[in-house]
Structure 1
């Protein structure tokens, strides 16, 4: 049967099913024969649907793999459908093309156009400029930022993103509030106002190394695109979370929330008994109360912690076996969003068994982004793996993509930040 015949057969069965359903809608009972007819029509409709899906898939393959067609009135035309777009697809194809072209942008452009079939990526590559690499268009860079949001807890908890124009951004903030008072008649009173200072963000270079097997280079397709994309996003997200949470601003790194809290005296250690649920509950309340007592706006508050602490809190039960915090199943703790990351260590303190809890109004967190990424390529480079071991791409038959960008993080009001330390649960 042709595709059109299959569609007509499905429509015919659907009309008969609707007619039988209309009988029941009028309040009449279907006979045993009509019940059997209803079931048969359902089965046949499903069978024709499966055949139609296969027929359409076969037709699409014919279109995609079509050979050049010679036209009497013009040059040969190759019929090939454009690849389907999804979030991050342009970035992945851009990176794949640079890799397939071995760093040669002319070859990369041809790969994007002829093998992947994405003319917009090919055009972007043809206009890419970079120092030793290919400059990813800013709109593609925004795709990366959007994909990083759910993978980094600082972004996911509500941090704001601001552009770093020329690599810098200065944001004025109130460091001390104005005061008010009363006076008697003819009594002088001094004017008292708030004090201000600045939050200064300066782009710190983030470098992401993505080793790829040479067997995959040059193969176009959704699965390979996803490998490229996932490797890039995962590596960038992991390093950003560590930087935004725990880097101390030295060695060209951002000054994260931990260092900000330490410098501002916004640290509350846990001194209770971890086997006592009430002590833990009181400690969590104390962290919240620290923000309240500081007159924090508390617009987008959230929790950040290690997976160990997350699972411990999720497993606490009262004397009746009920969970203390059932809302954690929905990603909430005491009414505020909660996220976990392995970038919060669990081997701190004298006994190497302590960790940290971050509670903050993430509306006060500003992430500065340069908005541009540069992709470089090499087949001879060496790189450090996750364990710090030096690896030769050449000896492993790998290609290495290097994604370079710039970012920084700052906190507008210390009143909206508290670091829970010495946490042993």
Structure 2
């Protein structure tokens, strides 16, 4: 049997291939006049990729079952000795993603951030594989370590649907060296008709570049030591969920509206600023909004994508809760809901993502918001390495009110999580932004 980590990597590759085949099939379906033979071939390629993933997934699950059985055979079940060695094995439970991550953090906190002590505590608790030799590498900081690849992928997989931008299904690419440069076509070839004796038009492309450079995202999660002292699945789940929720919020903040610096990503809102498409794809709300003007503004955003040959039917809306509530409650002259599909998370047959990271206090008057229309096929997120963790029960931190707090005096353990990634656009007109939105009930 192959090494379980090799099988997991093969499953990840199969999942990536399946995603690529799905994107290709969706792109063909969005094209008007697509040939049936091309659609059939794309569907067949997707079915083949799906079958390959399902096979790889079965192999991984089988290997995990074998690994679990070996662990059970190597160590007696808790309470077996008290029963004279006759303790019955508990029924196998399905593995929940990210719980190993929570257990690692809880055990490391109990060890005061020392990975060697944490390994011994794990051994005593019957979790001998939690901190396997060679699994953790020092990060150069007290209590720091890199989360193992299999655990890291579980946590990142859970993080993606928790973040608005990654929940849209953008392209995820690795940044093994922390950087990637990809050409993107700015203008197409110049073709024309003529007789055989005339010169063909000058043909050529002009290119821009999409450059991704891994930016470090970090956050601190205070965790009560009363929880950390409790060895339970519920605590592991709580630690995992807190880390994912906080990471998703910060990731969205920068992926959506980050101005872009040497150390932070440029978000979707500012990808177009300073480019030729700024004037066509960054639009202002029509003053004095009513149903007709609201509908027109939404159509203008769709038209901005369509005019650049971006199929807006596959795009997603992103808006603030205030804007979403306005559109949900908006009625026509007969008292009927103008957009009844909003109650199902759709607007004009496209998914709607609602987030407080789109503010409602923008503009000179502090009462404006924004709406984005984004086609995720052209959004690229580069990820570098996995997750780096550091723990401390001595450090200080600032709470939500900006007050300095001491983890030691509050009997807390601070977890600092670091991820590295960047965001770019393969095709700039794949984003349209409506600014100065004052729609409100």
TM-score (norm 1): 0.78
Is residue 122 from structure 1 mapped to residue 136 from structure 2 by the alignment?
no
**Larger deviation, residues 252-261 vs 174-183:** 174-183
Q: Deviations over 1:294-332 (max 9, x none)?
A: 111447310001011011101111223221111122211
Q: Any conservation in 2 of the 1:377–1:399 contact (CA below 8 Å)?
A: yes
Matched residue, 1:293: 307
Deviation at 1:79, TM superposition (A): 8.0
Distance (whole Å) between structure 2 residues aligned to residue 113 and residue 396 of structure 1 = 29
Secondary structure of 1:169's partner?
Answer: strand
Aligned counterparts of 1:70 and 1:322: Cα–Cα separation in 2: 69
- From 248, 253, 268, the counterpart of 2:283: 268
Counting matched residue pairs gives: 356
Query: What is the aligned partner in structure 1 of residue 421 from structure 2?
Result: 407
Q: Select between 283-292 and 363-372 the one with higher mean Cα deviation.
A: 363-372
Which stretch has the larger CA shift, 136-145 or 386-395? 386-395
Q: Quote the residue 2:98 is aligned against.
A: 88
Aligned partner of residue 234 in structure 2, secondary structure: helix
| 2:334 maps to 1:320 | yes
Higher mean C-alpha deviation, range 279-288 or range 313-322: 313-322
Distance 2:199 2:249 in 1: 58
Cα shift readout 1:37-57 (whole Å, capped 9, x = no counterpart) = xxxxxxxxxxxxxxxxxxxxx
**Which of 348, 355, 379 matches 1:341?**
355
Q: How far is the alpha carbon of 1:154 from its aligned partner?
A: 0.6
Equivalent in the alignment of 1:173 = 184
The answer for the alignment partner of 1:9 in structure 2 is none
User: In the aligned structure 1, how far is the partner of 2:370 from the partner of 2:107?
Assistant: 42
Q: Is the 8 A contact 2:190 2:201 kept in 1?
A: no
Displacement of 1:77 = 10
User: What RMSD over aligned residues (CA atoms) do the two structures have, in Å?
Assistant: 2.3
For 2:93 and 2:81, the matched residues in 1 are separated by: 19
Asked if 2 retains the 8 angstrom alpha-carbon contact of 1:273 and 1:280, the reply is no
How much has 1:187 moved relative to structure 2? 2.0
2:152 to 141, 149, 164: 141
Which structure would you say has the larger Rg? 1
Hey, what's the Cα distance between the residues in 2 that align with 1:387 and 1:365?
34
Whether 1:350 and 2:360 are equivalent positions in the alignment is: no
Residues 1:68 and 1:84: Cα distance change in structure 2 (over 3 Å): farther
Q: Using the alignment, how far apart are the partners of 2:86 and 2:251 within structure 1?
A: 47
Check if 1:304 corresponds to 2:302.
no
- Deviation for aligned residue 1:216: 1.6
Q: Deviations over 1:324-373 (max 9, x none)?
A: 11112221110111101101111111110001101011111111111311
Q: Secondary structure at the match of 1:122?
A: coil
- For residues 424 and 154 of structure 1, the distance between their equivalents in structure 2, rounded to whole angstroms, comes to 23
Q: CA deviation at 1:90?
A: 1.6
- Aligned residues of 1:212 and 1:400 also touching (Cα < 8 A): yes
Contact (CA 8 Å) 1:209, 1:402: kept in 2 or not? yes
What is the match of residue 250 of structure 1?
261
Tell me what 1:381 maps to. 395
Q: Cα–Cα, structure 1 residues 300 and 92, in superposed 2: closer, same or farther, change >3 Å?
A: farther
Q: Which sections of structure 1, spanning at least 5 residues, go unmatched?
A: 1-62
- 1:223 and 2:234 equivalent? yes
- 2:438 alignment partner in structure 1: 424
User: Is residue 156 of structure 1 aligned with residue 171 of structure 2?
Assistant: no
Task: State the Cα distance separating 1:389 from its structure 2 match.
Answer: 2.8
Matched position secondary structure for 2:264: coil
**Are residues 79 and 390 of structure 1, via their aligned partners in 2, closer, same or farther at CA, if it must alter by over 3 Å?**
farther
CA deviations on 1:239-258 (whole Å, 9 max, x unpaired) are 00011011111251001111
SS at 2:192's partner residue?
coil
Cα deviations across residues 17-67 of structure 1 (Å, max 9, x unaligned)? Answer: xxxxxxxxxxxxxxxxxxxxxxxxxxxxxxxxxxxxxxxxxxxxxx96516
Confirm or deny: 8 A CA contact 2:171 2:379 kept in the other structure. Answer: yes
2:79 matches 1:66:
yes
Whole-Å Cα distance in 1 between the matches of residues 377 and 128 of structure 2?
39
State the secondary structure of the residue aligned to 2:113: coil
CA drift at 1:110: 2.8
**TM-score with structure 2 length normalisation?**
0.76
- 2: distance between equivalents of 1:345 and 1:402? 26
Contact 2:171–2:381, Cα closer than 8 Å, also in 1: yes
One of 244, 247, 253 as aligned partner of 1:236: 247
CA gap of 1:381–1:361, structure 2 versus 1, over 3 A, is: same
CA–CA distance in 2 between the matches of 1:385 and 1:64? 42
